[in-house]
Amino acid sequence: MALDVAKKKEIIAKFARDGKDTGSSEVQIALLSQRIADLTEHLKANPKDHASRLGLLKLVGHRKSLLAYLKKTQYARYAKLIAELKLKDR
Domain coverage including residue 56: 5-9+22-85
Residue 63 included in any domain: yes
Residue 90 in any domain: the answer is no
Q: How many separate domains does the chain show?
A: 1
Render 11-58 in DSSP notation, one character per residue. Answer: HHHHH-SSTT--SSHHHHHHHHHHHHHHHHHHHHH-TT-HHHHHHHHH
In tens, the pLDDT along 7-64 reads: 999 999 999 999 898 899 999 999 999 999 999 999 999 999 999 999 999 999 999 9
